[in-house]
Amino acid sequence: MSALLQVEALSKTFGAVAAVHNLSFQIEPGEVVGIIGPNGAGKTTAVNLISGVLRPSKGRVCFGGEDVTGLRPDRLVRRGLVRTFQATTVYSTRIVRENVRRGSFRTRYPGFLHALLETPKQRAWRAESEKHVDRILSWFGLSGHQDTQAAALPYGFQKTLGMAIALAAEPKLILLDEPAAGLSAEEADHVRDTIVRIRESGVTVVVIDHNMRFISNLCDRIVVMHHGEELAAGTPREVLTDPRVIEAYLGKRHVVAQVG
């Protein structure tokens, strides 16, 4: 099986600072892979490079067998690579249903001219789009909130809505940047269960976080970043017992205690 996403020697410097240095990994179809690391490890910069928000200084990104290095985010979305952000990515003044509908515009919208002339293609698109929105709302448990203004939702539901918007674009791979940040343990468990369902629907998932508990209970594999580089990679068990990872998160004294 060929990799869906391949990151090769990816680097990004800001002046004299190397935010990401020589990062390489690959994601197979159907996986849930975590990218973790302490604050400042370079996780979000790496995601910004993969998703086209930033251009790399060196290296390349391949998606679906195509070199997509430096492509704009909208072009990557059309190819099936979608991401969320650390902050809730919702249209706060719009109702939930319109939020999800806007997500589907990214890949389904037939074009301005069809909309202007109200062509049969436009009418067919609108009907199918509304069915698609209904499916997404139901799937995420948001049907009962579809007429609620997004800003009025609890924070955990806003996180769920952000994932619903991303999934409305029908991605092959979704990059989730700290989806559990700021959530209670119960809310984080709900988000984790939602991510599992996303994978079960056939979408490959990459989750970026620094919450070891959240990631280890979710992912097939984990890539650990530290100071912009890969520190370790493997299964959750392999990573959690790696002395280098323990030291990066907890300090050298905890490594000595474990070994002793």
What residues contact 144, with CB distance under 8 A and at least 6 apart?
A: none
Whether the CA torsion 201, 204, 210, 212 is positive or negative: it is: positive
The predicted structure's pLDDT at residue 259: 39
pTM for the whole thing?
0.85
Distances (CA, A) of 164 to 108, 109, 246: 15, 17, 34
Q: Find the Cα–Cα–Cα–Cα dihedral 230, 195, 6, 236, rounded to 10°.
A: 40
**pLDDT score of 254 more than 50:** no
Residue range 203-237, pLDDT digits in tens: 999 999 887 788 888 999 999 999 999 999 999 99
**pLDDT score of 114 more than 60:** no
**pLDDT score of 103 more than 90:** no
Q: Give the SS3 label for residue 152.
A: helix
Residue 152 CB coordination number (10 Å) = 12
The predicted structure's pLDDT at residue 260: 39
Count the domains in the chain: 1
Residue range 117-161, pLDDT digits in tens: 667 766 666 677 788 889 899 988 899 999 999 999 988 888 889
Question: 3-state secondary structure string, 174-239?
Answer: EEEECCCCCCCHHHHHHHHHHHHHHHHCCCEEEEEECCHHHHHCCCCEEEEEECCEEEEEECHHHH
Q: Rounded to whole angstroms, how far apart are CA atoms 150 and 212?
A: 29
Cβ contact 228:65 at 8 Å: no
The predicted structure's pLDDT at residue 182: 83
The predicted structure's pLDDT at residue 258: 46
Beta bridge partners of 83: 175
The predicted structure's pLDDT at residue 89: 73
Residue range 158-184, pLDDT digits in tens: 888 988 998 988 899 999 988 888 888
Mean pLDDT of all residues in 49-65: 95
Whether the CA torsion 158, 52, 7, 240 is positive or negative: it is: negative
Q: Rounded to whole angstroms, how far apart are CA atoms 121 and 110?
A: 7
What residues contact 204, with CB distance under 8 A and at least 6 apart?
A: 4, 5, 27, 28, 29, 30, 31, 32, 172, 173, 174
Per-residue confidence at 247, pLDDT binned at 50, 70, 90?
confident
Amino acid identity, position 156: G
Residue range 1-43, pLDDT digits in tens: 589 999 999 999 998 899 999 999 999 999 999 999 888 899 9
Half-sphere exposure (Cβ direction) of 51: Cα atoms closer than 13 Å: 22
* CATH code of the domain containing 40: 3.40.50.300
Q: Rounded to whole angstroms, how far apart are CA atoms 237 and 95?
A: 42
**Range(s) of the domain holding residue 72:** 5-259
Q: Rounded to whole angstroms, how far apart are CA atoms 32 and 19?
A: 24
Mean pLDDT of all residues in 225-251: 89
Mean pLDDT of all residues in 94-121: 71
